[in-house]
Amino acid sequence: MSFQNNLRQYREKLGITAKDFAAQLGINYGTYAGYETQGREPKYNVLCKIAAALNVSIDDLIGHTEHDFEYWQGFLMRLGLIIAPLESGKIAILSREPKDENDTGTVLGSFPPGEFLAMMEKIAPTAERKARDTVRNNVEIAIQQAFHEQIMNDEIQRIAKSIKTKN
């Protein structure tokens, strides 16, 4: 994504209007609006202020998120997939390890390196968000279980105390 789109997206995520955000940054609203709507780019010191106010890196803000082959290899391995360079120069995505040198595994797709990187940049946020959501859901379930266990323990102690006082 471009700086212009990222800027708007991150600002909207914070729930701040463009006018209020410009005031927060101490810049003219018209200047700021030009960043979001006309493709203008701020000077470096203003870019730093914007990134800090949005709590994002400058790289993320300007859309510079290149990852190399090893990064994506590790990323896909965590998802149970394998990537391998092919003799043709393309990169293959496999669903399992090949059994031997003649077995190619189950090839899900093969892409030229640039296309592969662009595709991964596009799908990674969704995959990472889904992984975070799964972790968040598991944490919420664990908290609920701990809460219910505490309620049960408190109730058992209350009953035990009431039995002791009756005897």
**pLDDT per position as a tens digit, 104-121:** 667 788 887 767 777 777
Closest to 5 measured CA to CA, from 38, 43, 51 = 38
Domains of the chain: 3-62 (1.10.260.40), 69-121 (no CATH)
For 106: left if phi > 0, alpha if psi spans -120 to 50, otherwise beta; the answer is beta
Tell me which residue has tokens 């993320």.
60
Closest to 10 measured CA to CA, from 53, 67, 59, 43 = 53
Q: Which residues pair with 110 in a beta bridge?
A: 92
The Cα 163–Cα 86 span in angstroms is: 74
Angle, helices 29-37/3-14, rounded to nearest 10 degrees: 120
pTM of the model: 0.42
Q: What mean pLDDT, rounded, does the chain reach?
A: 80
In a 13 Å sphere around the CA of 103, the CA atoms on its Cβ side amount to 9
Which has more pLDDT, 106 or 33? 33
* pLDDT tens profile 85-107: 778 878 888 876 667 777 666 77
The Cα 159–Cα 61 span in angstroms is: 58
User: Taking a C-beta distance cutoff of 8 angstroms, is the pair 97, 105 a contact?
Assistant: yes
